[in-house]
Structure 1
Amino acid sequence: MDDDAGVVEFTSDAQLIEGSDAVMASTAETGLVLVPSPAVRFKQLEKNTDLNLSPTAKERRVHQAYLQQLQVPLRTPRQPQMSLRLHHGRVELAGCGYEYGLPETTPYRSMPGASAPSTASDDLPSSGRTSPKDMPDVHFLGPAESIKTLFKLPYSRSRVSLAIHRVGNTLVVDGDVDETDLPKGFDECNEVLRIGHSTPLLEQDPALFENFIYQSTLALPPPEADDDEFAPAVSLEPKAKPSKAKLSAKEKKRRAKRKKQAQQQQHPSLSPLHRPPWDDDATEEDDTTSSYASSSSPLPNVVPAFQRILKWKFHDMQMLLGSDVQLFSNKEHPSVSLKLHDADQDLSLCTVLDYYLDNVIANIPELAICMHSKGHVRGYQLVETRDIPYLNGSSTPLFDVHDVNLNATMLFKFLQNNCSEANGTYWLYRAEGDFSLRLYDVRMLARGQQRKWKYMMAMLCYRFASRAARLISSAFEAPALQTRLRHRQRELLGTCLELLKELRRDHGGSRAQDSISASVAEQMADTYLRELDESSSESEKAAHLRSAKLHLQTSIRVLEGCVADYFAEKDAKHHATASTGGLPLSETVLSSPTLRGGGHESGREEDDDDDEDDAVGLFMEEEVSRLQLKHASTALHLAAVYMENHAIADALRSLHDACGFLRFDALPPPTPLAPVDSIAFFHSFLDDLDFGGVGHAKSKTFLKPLYSETEVRANVLEALGDLASSQRLGDLAPAVALTYQLLTSAVRPSTMTSLQQAFAPAAFGDLVAAHRSLLDATTNVSFLAYLRALSPPVNAEHYFVLMKKLGNAANETAKSFLAQKDLQQAYLWFEGGSLLFEAIEDGANAALLCANLANLHKILADADGRQEEHYAKAVGLCTKAHALLKSSRASEVHAKVTGELALTYLVWAVRLSLNAPVHSDAETKIAAKFNKALHLYLEINDARQVASTHYQMASFYSRQLVGKLEATTRTKMELARRHYEKALLYFGVVDVGKTFVIIHQELAALYAASDKAEDIEHALLVLLNTYEAYSKSHRLSLDDRTTLATVAPSILEGVQTYLLRLVRAPCATKSVKQRSSVFKQMYKEAICHRDAPLAQVLLTLRSLYAS
């Protein structure tokens, strides 16, 4: 069939305009917003510097982190300059004809004629900033290298193969589609794609460029002053690496063989898809695993994130581009791009255009080219960006900027008009040496029945989905586009899975396809996990985690099938080779390769085959284990979300999912626990306790990473402790207890091999019924779960978390015993909790437990006759708590401990003051304790307790007045009166309730103790002032209202008594005598209305007194 069948040709109105002075980079037609990226300081190398000298292995390790930031993907090799045309001015658009087993496609519509862009000035674009909300729709998104490929299309006949995706209004230009995107064993698909397998010569030696960057950036003097010319580029010493386990001789041989193969084949490193997604900073995998993964994995590699994200406006098209172009600077040139070129070769048009586009897109004003000859520096050439087209030294530029601008505009508009299907995926292709440029709708290719097209579509979907994370991060200024990209990524992965299912159904599956399906399912789970953040609601988190968990389960199930098939095939192979086919022993020996002279070589080949089989099996098993750990982490996080929403049953099911893959024979053997009946239990536990090394690198994702089955068990036990401490178990308490017993091997069903079998609903119900008595006897599950989680030893970070929770559980257990009035058990658990916190140097929590013990001593002081001993111990514990808080900044805890110490002194003083009146020595001791409490409450600014202390001191001095001499009476009366008045500064303003009334009663009695009419009148006024409390009694608590009703008769009686004394006062002053008639009228009113509400009576009496 003709290749042009179903093709609609587009003829441009303006092929190429020569002689124009317009430039592409203009402030009117183009613009750039640059995300800041620090420039790397470099030094100019001296002439004849030898770039062939590579750094040593140690120097390279030191510089490795820096080189990772500077390594720019090597550009594809350039061809000699070709004539400037696109197939005689026509751009071909190909459908999917019958030659590929597909129905004829509907021709694309032609793109309207593109008008030439307006002439712009020569100036480079100025950097500006646009807020995300003002940012227009993004028209093109992708790597800058891919966009540059479109600009350079007319100037080269090299192969072009790009994937283009429509996401909303945005066209995402994906990277080059090459042989790494298609798995081995599908050469027919490679043939259709016309992918060449020959490795063309590179423009420059990558090692030479790395040496050039190394020498230009590493050996820089440290900055000592502001005028220093250079700054250091990297640290002097590499980070220490963890020690590696000792390997057997066979393992060393196998790894060396894999490493050699990897170096010979120059395979890329292990794809991030085969590593824990949360462990971005983890050390490299061992050579065997990496080599096998890179050589056998049929999946495309995932490119790392861009160094810089550029927002570029090209005419009316907004672009978000990811760039790896590195900025360099020195004292004279603050922002330049640095290139290396062989002086023995001419600068080609495509090379110069590439330099120009790099600078224009990244808004770099200058270009520095280091010229070398056979690796020896010959000098530098520094040019401004606008002068890059004239690098050949001629007055005529290598290319006309306006022509580049015009052709790129036509191509971009053409793609916008023809890649128009919503969520469509397209393939822009041109064969090597061809003029014809074709655009395929890949989805239509997948509709055919041929296996190769379905597989190609699946791989393209997978490839874009794998790179979408980088593109999503690139679109950080367009949140709506980020959301559409995430959804598009999920759709592509779903399409990939469906196509792989169709291939398995229609053509039979293979282990390679199943392994791909497993990896795609994992990526689908990752799309949900990446959407987890602090801003997500609880329902959104639960939905994302449920979806991720289901896809991870699918991935595990498929990969476990691959492992089972692999080992079944391996066993069958070994059985076949072990059989001699019934030959006599002599014939078997004669047929042995050893007797034919090839024994050693053949033996080595067989050993190598066995090693390779071992490596394959080991890798597949490790992949299953990694996925199980990832699934466990997801299920644990889902359980935490359920616990926050008090969905206990759902949380328990998620915990079962998290640890279901654990085998009973892999769990620690059961170990009996001593009863917690003395403090010796905690001392013994702490003596034997330890943690298992430092923690892992901090995760950059929302999930907590898990690295072993032991960690899974410890985390599930921790979650069980959290679940039990919620006090919301109800009918689920036996289920939680059984889960704990299964994880600690106290219950181990003989007919089951894994926890998943035990967690099956029917089997789990039978186990609950069979062990009911044990489960009912299992108490304090939270404390026991945290305790068991610490053995086997966990890492340091988890150790401190578990110890804190263990201490909190001991504290809650003590509170529970305290509520049951079991003071001895409460004391034991409080003391044990304080020891746990002291063991991890948690001063704040240890101090709080000491404060709880001090409070318990005050309770014990009321229970037995050793009051002095208990109060003294309480003071000692509070003092110890203050010492624990010396290095802590927990101001709230410090205030609580100080308050507890003040309360201890106050209660101690009040208890002693009950025996008043006392001798002067005892009075001094009691007053000292009152003053300590008062000063401590003032220190923490507790106004209510300060007022309460003043009231207690006033009451004490009032009781001390009994039986005292006249000389001391006045002093005690004055002290009591002052303390009452200070107490009223708070209770008379803030808390006008029962305490307010009682203080007034006692203060009135203090004044009334005198025979002077003025003091009696003062006592009367004090009682009348209780109207403030009784008039607002409806606002008070029930307890306060009850107390006020109880004391109301005594207040009215006191008023009547004071009025009668005033009427009958023999030695009244002149002012009192003048008001005698008023007092009589008030007395009469109090007698006549004794049954009226007290507030009404007090108001009437106050009105009469004021008249």
Structure 2
Amino acid sequence: ILSFGSDEPICRLMCLGNNEIKSRAVVKYSAAPPPTTYALLQEKTDLKLPPANWLRESPQLGPAGSTVLGSSSKSKPFSSFGMAYDFIDSIGDDVDVVSDSENIKKLLKIPYSKSHVSMAVHRVGRTLLLDELDIQELFMRSSQTGDWTWLKEFYQRLIDQKWQRKKKSKEHWYQKAILSKFLYYSINGDGAAEPVPDSDNTDEGCGAEEFGPSWPAPFTSTASDSEESAGLRNDFVRNILWTFEDIHMLVGSNMPIFGGGRYPAVSLRLRDNNKPINILTGIDYWLDNLMCNVPELVMCFHVNGIVQKYEMIKTEDIPDLENSTFSTRVVKDIAQNILSFLKSNCTKEGHTYWLFKASGSDIVKLYDLTTLCEEAAEEKCQNPFTLPVAVLLYKVASNMMLKKSQNRKHYGTIRTLLLNCVKLLDQDRHPQIIASAHYMLAELFQLDEPPEEGAGGESLRAGGSEDSYSDEDDEEDPEDLPEDSDENGSFSTTLDSQDDSKAVAIIKSVGELSVPEKYKSTHQIRPIYAFPVSQDKEERCRHVLSYVLKGLKAVDGSIKKESDLPAADPNTPIPLKYEDGSWPSLTPSRTPNKYLNLSDRKHPTRSGMIPGSWQHRMKLQLFFKASKAYYVLSDAATNLLKYGRALRYIKLALQCHDAYCSVSSTLHSRVLLFHSQCLSLCGDIQLMLAQNASNRAAYLEEYSYQTREDQEVLHSLHRESSCQAFNMASDLATDPEYQLFVSSKCYEAAYELLTSGVVKEHGPEQLAQVLKRLGNIRNEIGVFYMNQAAAMQTEKEVKKSVSIAEQEIWKKSFSCFEKGMKDFEAIEDSTNTSLLLCNTGRLMRICAQAHCATSADLSRGEFSPEESLYYNKAIDYYLRAMRSLATRGNHPAVWDSVNWELSTTYFTLATLLQDYAPLSRKAQEQIEREVTEAMLKSLKYCDLQTESARQPLYQYRAATIHHRLASMYHSCFRNQVGDEHLRKQHRSLAELHYSKAVLLFLSLKDAPCELLRTLLERVAFAEFTMAGQSSSGAKLKTLTGALDVLTDTRHAFLLIHKELLEDYTEVQTQTEIEPTAVCTCGCISRPTFKLSASLLGIMGKSKETSQDLRKEIVDLHKSGSSLGVISKCLKVPRSSVQTIVRKYKHHGTTQPSYHSGRKRVLSPRNECTLV
């Protein structure tokens, strides 16, 4: 056996014949010193004489030695709660019963005893708390406090109409006195005798202890007057975790334990030699030793107080003593039946149940006092158990919350505990507990991760116990039973007339408790509480806000009104904050520290809160929780594209943060990190609003709507702050430029927070995301200004010179692109860096186009140096973008986009040089070299091999480049005089490029006109070549080649015929005229040939087509009109329409479309790149 005071398990298996009772005891706490050997009294010692050390304080005896004082042997009405508070980890899950050992013994002796039983039962999770409900004492107290008046009236009405208080006998006090003296005699050691204190001065024990629950951090509690008198202190000498068969009990015991005998621990008993040990006494002794794991009992016999002899009895031999024989299996069955009875019927958590058996009766009844109390008159409706039960429910819930590793599966249990706690309490009297409970209820709903299913409690056993010790119970002797009944004054046997309808459950005969498994638990002590798990974020957040609002109301209600606050000290200056009238700062002005430091605040807050008070700490937590809930709501609305609703929620989140800052003097790093998240989300929403301006009416309606709950939360926020600090960031503006500007400021404010000293180490990932957002918004603003510049060019009728307004817009756009590139380079985001370089290249092309001067007749002059400068700058930026990507494998889509833009720029530069050659500044040969170089570079970036949507465009461009080069070399060949070698070179190059152009045009199915033009030019080239030839053979070869070229025109004419036939069929269908017949031989009919001839005529005059007509064709095509419809509307052949549209696509237009740097629309909060 281990020494007492150890928290190691102390186990013992009791075996009685064929019966085997399993008992295991673990001492959780012991205030007594290690057992010392008891003093063996000499024979004839007179116990009526007090020893010298009588009534001295002795840790060996504890409260048991002073039983002569009367009430100290009685259990306090809240003794189980004191023990539950000390061992809160065991409550709710591990333990079935918490109670005084005396109450456990009284329950297990019910079938053997005629004495009354009166106990209060409370349920907390799986655990039942049992306390003695002393009717006599309660009714005496009710005349003074009025607490139990309603119960007294109920008792007198239903049980004993003639109840009156009865005094205890002199024999009772005599037995208590000699027991106390015997125990003091048995202490080994002498001490000076001290006078016995007057019993009048020590009646009713030593008073109640202060009741001060220890709240989970950061909450503390100040004990109220009613709590101080509640007597909730754990006064037991030892607390033991006792497992009796399958029942787990936490019991409190005050039994003195001595050393000596064959074992290191024995219990000491005093017996009258003239009275045999009866069965009640035997069960009492056996259970005491079993609970305290004492293996031996030492019995001292006396006659009229004169010691006669000692006898030692083993604990396992107690059930077989003469006149005291009982079955341990029956006791086990009694325990299991009583536990099952209580488990099945004490089902309401937080209710006070009353287990009552009248003296001499065989009927046991269970009443729900909470229900009876609610039915009583309001002024009498006072249940002193309410506060201790509520506090215990709260403590158990908070203890479960602190177990981070396993609390998720207990969320249903925690929620039920807290809701029952709140139901029991009056908000006006206990606002702190209510506010804390609602805050924990809000904490149950995880906002930053998906909820887990299956959160809920399990089926639990009921049970528990508490510690106390009383010697020589009056009920142990049959002849003392009437006296015991009289002493307690609650023992009428006339039960036939009572109203059974008030009882929750009844045991009709105590004999039933001895029948094995007579009572089985039909109801779980804790049903599987389903935690309200929802996959819908908005629903979870609404639950959180509901509890936060209730917590705020509790806090606000507890704060003194303004009229109750002390007047302002005229000698104390009132600090005023300075606010800059320029752009409002979106970051807190306070210096952030790692932890909240409230010592700097000396004055009450706006609502009258005292800094450092529980109201102050609780409001900080509630404000922060509300801000997180609104943030999650805003994030969810953003994902649903409900940007008006999202902006409303993020505004509320920022207002909560503003109120938080108004209450707190300094800010924790986690608060600053969260604030940066709010600002980032606000920036995202403003950006989305700017990009979706067409839905502004719907967004305004969403933004203006507000629930009653949100209004009440806002009202509570306004008690502490005006909540105006972030209005500019969260207002719904109508100007897209302003919205982009606000978005940029939000991101910048978030960046400043994340780069401050305190937060810098905690948010590297968040900093990278903010930098990505900064780069994106600067790209968006740059594109916005770039599109403005392009629009200004379109609006100008005659381009003469660049205006100052245009130049300013270019500077703004360029500055934004540069800043965005630095942001992406800071996080090594090469993909988005290349996209911003690409957009900068587009800006340079717009600048080049702006320097193209045109006259009133839309004709333009030579290619200017400014155009050349900006086109070359554009090429430089595109090349930098290619270098940033390094290889196509890093991001194929972006690589292809940059590759296309680079090819287009080279092609545009070469085309402008060729069509509007600056002959006034450069020589013809130099221009030809530059055109050739630009064309070949453009051809280099034409990706003809990769299958993609752009492949036909690349083929058309490559064919056009070869055609243009061939035409240029054809012209040089015609005009070159003198240098025969150079003429041959030009001829071979022209032939080469004509052949390549024809092959590429043949591979295209929608470029017959270009193919015809190329073929006809090639025939003309052959004719010119033949003219310079002298031999017949050479001429014949040349003419034969020309004929071969002409045969290739059949492919082009077939394509043209097909298109014309489709158009003609459409017309015939509309006019209900039969279509023109087509020759079966494959030749073109006469009318169709005429149309083809007209088409060729139009082709010859295509350059003379007015700019207005081309613009109209392009506009109709962009609006979605088909080529046939455009042809009919403008009365222009379809092939001509197709040619103009193709040139719009491939040659570049006056106003190219500019993307925003993203190839697809994504949420700005997406983790991937902007592409």
**TM-score higher than 0.5 here?**
no
TM-score of Structure 1 vs Structure 2, range by shorter chain = 0.3 to 0.5
TM, length-normalised to structure 1: 0.43
For the pair shown, the structure with the greater C-alpha radius of gyration is 2
